[in-house]
A and B are shown apart, each in its own frame.
Chain A
Amino acid sequence: HPWETVTTAAMQKYPNPMNPSVVGVDVLDRHVDPSGKLHSHRLLSTEWGIPSIVKSLIGTCRTKTYVQEHSVVDPVTKTMELKSSNISFTNLVSVDERLVYKPHPHEPDKTILTQEAIISVKGVSLSSYLEGLMANTISSNANKGREALEWVINRLNAEIEELAASARGTMRNSMAAAAFVEK
C-alpha cells in the first residue's frame, strides 16, 4: 500500500483484532514543529487478561499496563517514525520499539517498514532466557502488526465505499427528481 495509506492507518491502528489487549489510546500532546513535522505523544493502555483470582489479590485498577509512544510524521520526506517504550514495570523490564515507515524506493505503491526492539530485563538471573522469549514474541508480533494495518486499511476503504455508494444513491435520486421537474 502507498505510504500515505499506511501512515493514515497507523494513526488509527487501534482497535484491531490482532491486538486485542490494547484497550485505550490517548493523545497526550500533538503539534507540528517549525520544519512541518507532526509530533504526537500517545499513551496506550493494555490489558493482558490476568486471571480473576490474581486481579482480586492485586486490585483491578492495577491490571492495566501502559506504553508511551512518540511518533513523527514528515510529509515532505515521507517518513513516519514511531518510538514506544513501556512505562509500567520499568523496574523489571524495558521494551523499546522503533518503527519507521517509508515509501518503497522502487515501487511507489508500496511501503517499507523497518522495526527494531531493544529488550532489557533487570536484575533477574533468567535474563537471557526471558530476553530470548520476548525477542521471539516481538518478531512474531511484527507480522501481526502488518496484518493489523492491513485490517485497518480494509476497514477504512470499506467506509469510503459505503459513503460513495450512499452519495451515488442520493445523486441518482436528485437527478431523477430534477428530470421529473424539468418535464
Chain B
Amino acid sequence: MNSVGEACTELKRDYDQCFNRWFAEKFLKGESAGDPCGQLFKRYQLCVQKAIKEKDIPIEGLEFMGPRKGKTENSS
C-alpha cells in the first residue's frame, strides 16, 4: 500500500511492519508499555506532513499541523 506522498512509501512500509508486529504481539495481549516504533514513526511523519502540505489536503484539528494562514500558534 502506498503513502499519500510517493517519497514516503518506504518509510511507511518500515513503520507499518514494526507497528503491525507490536500491535498483534504486544498491545492486544495487554502489554502496551514501550513503543519500539517511535523513531520510525517520527521519520515517516515528517515526510507525510510535508506531502500533505504540498498537496493541500484539508485536514483539520490535528496537533502536528503548525500555524496556518496566520492563526494562533501551536503550543509545543
* Chain B facing A: main interface SS: helix
* Chain A facing B: main interface SS: strand
CB-contacts of B16-63 with A (<8 A): 16, 19-20, 23-24, 27-30, 32, 35, 41, 44-45, 48, 52, 55, 57-59, 62-63
B76 at the interface (CB under 8 A from A): no
Known: A26-B3, A30-B41, A38-B32. A8 touches B20 (CB 8 A): yes
B2 at the interface (CB under 8 A from A): yes
Q: Which of A26, A29, A38, A76 is the one whose CB lies under 8 Å from B8? A: A26
Q: Which of A25, A28, A45, A75 is the one whose CB lies under 8 Å from B64? A: A28
Q: Which of A12, A45, A66, A73 is the one whose CB lies under 8 Å from B27? A: A73
Q: Which of B5, B20, B48, B62 is the one whose CB lies under 8 Å from A11? A: B20
Number of A residues contacting the other chain (C-beta, 8 Å)? 31
Q: Which of B4, B28, B45, B57 is the one whose CB lies under 8 Å from A8? A: B28
Contacts A4-B28, A25-B1 supplied; 14 other A-B pairs, CB < 8 Å = A7-B28, A12-B16, A24-B3, A26-B3, A26-B5, A26-B8, A27-B48, A28-B64, A29-B63, A30-B41, A41-B62, A61-B55, A75-B32, A88-B58
